[in-house]
Structure 1
Amino acid sequence: MAQKTREQLIEVGLKQIHTAGYGATGVNEILALADVPKGSFYHHFPSKEAFAAAVLQRYGEGETHRWETMLGDKNQAPLKRLRLYFEDLISVYGQTGPISGCLMGNLTLEIAAHSDVLQPMLKGCFGAWEDAVAEALREAVAVGELDPSVKPRELASFIVNNWEGALLRSKAERSDRALDVFLDFTFKVLLKG
């Protein structure tokens, strides 16, 4: 029963923090949405920050599954997989998706500079994501889709950073235009073989 309550709190928190933000999401709101008593929250999480860490970990697990599934599909060429992956991200986190924006990016903007708990977690999440993109780029070099002089890790960092910037801009404009520009430029110019 206790594990079920913890899971329920994390699932509700993931949706609420992703939608409204860390600062705009209160513990009482989470409790009401999860329909659990206040004592249950503090039984599982010593603070809102610790709760946000559990939410971020859950989000990271979901995103890891997404990139492992999509980027690990060896039935497609590496750059094709990478493009399909970012197209999927647009459908999920773009303005027409169920929840616009990336939780990692949102938390970075909102709290990373002030949280010694969340900042290293966010750094690790971004690093793992860059590793996954870099691996796809290494494969693209190995099969001749990209020039051998490409530095996969640096290029992956550039791509992830540009994605996050485009996602932020798409929220400001309430449009997927910045994401479409990211996709076109990344795959038609930057990664053109």
Structure 2
Amino acid sequence: MAAPTDTRQHILDTAQLIMARRGWAAVGINEVLSAAGVPKGSFYHWFSSKDAFGEAMLRSYFTDYLAEMDDLLARPGVSAADRLMSYWRHWQATQSVEECQGRCLAVKLGAEVADLSESMRLALGEGTTGIIERIRRTIQEGITDGSLTVDGDPQQTAQTLYALWLGASIMAKIHRSRAPMDNALTATTHILHLA
């Protein structure tokens, strides 16, 4: 039998996969619990409401995402520019239009839930702020190691790059095309003044 914290995390992990494909409003709690093989009573043991559940799901997602990002950006002996470009290529590969596989909750749920749930909006805000901070830090490291340059402030550049990639991800979904992601990668190399 799974430990109680494993059951909670199992519900969150199952929901991430479903929500990444179908969105927040289209998925009911019963569908998540059925897919997770968990009785409804377990849900209310761990979560007081669907909003509380959504907030917990987003926080879990960003915890994992930021840890993966930290691993990707912390490779020793690799220039900051190369580490940052690896992150964007990883984004391109894992956020493709073919199958998100639970990797695109910020893209999938950002616009949908920002007006529906304040707690979920705040969780999205904190998570995306963490992503932007890691991008900013790596840009600063690139300026220091001489592997990249930017025309403006590293913070503004990080915000611009993240917004560019979020927009490209949405456009890729709308047009069912990788072209917006390819264009974002090209624009990123220009913004960072990479050869």
TM over 0.5, shorter chain? yes
After superposition, give the CA deviation of every residue in 1:137-172 in whole Å (9 maximum; x if it has no partner).
001111223347641111000000000000000000
- 4+ residue runs over 4 A deviation: none
Moved more, 52-61 or 162-171: 52-61
Return the match for 1:29 from 28, 31, 50.
31
Distance 1:184 1:58 in 2: 31
Q: 5+ residue gaps in structure 2?
A: none
In the alignment, what sits opposite 2:95? 93
After the TM superposition, which of the residue ranges 72-81 and 171-180 deviates more from structure 2?
72-81
Please give the alpha-carbon distance, in whole angstroms, between the structure 1 residues aligned to 2:33 and 2:99. Answer: 26
Alignment correspondent of 1:68: 70
Aligned counterpart in structure 1 of residue 21 of structure 2, from 19, 22, 26:
19
Question: What is the aligned length?
Answer: 192
TM-superposed deviation, 1:74: 2.7
Aligned AA (2:191): L
**Structure 1 residue 2: Cα displacement:** 2.1
**2:185 equivalent to 1:186:** no
1:2 corresponding residue in structure 2: 4
Distance 1:148 1:48, change over 3 A: closer
Contact 2:107–2:166 at 8 Å: present in 1 too? yes
Is 1:145 equivalent to 2:156 in the alignment? no
Does the 8 A contact of 2:20 with 2:100 survive in 1? no
Residue-by-residue CA offset, 1:47-93 (whole Å, 9 max, x unaligned): 11111111111110111112101111132111111111111111111
Deviation at 1:101, TM superposition (A): 6.6
> 1:95-174 counterparts in 2 under 5 A?
95-99=97-101, 102-147=104-149, 150-174=152-176
Q: Structure 2: how far apart are the matches of 1:139 and 1:18?
A: 33
Deviates more, 1:169-178 or 1:94-103: 94-103
Supply the distance in 2 between the matched residues of 1:17 and 1:147 (Cα, whole angstroms).
38
- What RMSD, in angstroms, separates the aligned Cα atoms of the two structures? 1.6
Q: Which 10-residue stretch deviates more, 27-36 or 140-149?
A: 140-149
Mapped to 2, the partners of 1:149 and 1:32 lie a distance apart of 51
| TM-score, normalised with respect to structure 2 | 0.92
Residues 147 and 29 (structure 1 numbering): CA distance in 2 closer, same or farther, change over 3 Å? closer
Amino acid at match of 1:31: L
Q: CA 1:191/1:149 → structure 2, altered by over 3 Å: closer, same or farther?
A: closer
Looking at structure 2, the residues matched to 11 and 100 of structure 1 have their Cα atoms a distance apart, in angstroms, of: 9
What's the TM-score once normalised by structure 1's chain length?
Answer: 0.93
CA contact (8 A) 1:94 1:101 kept: no
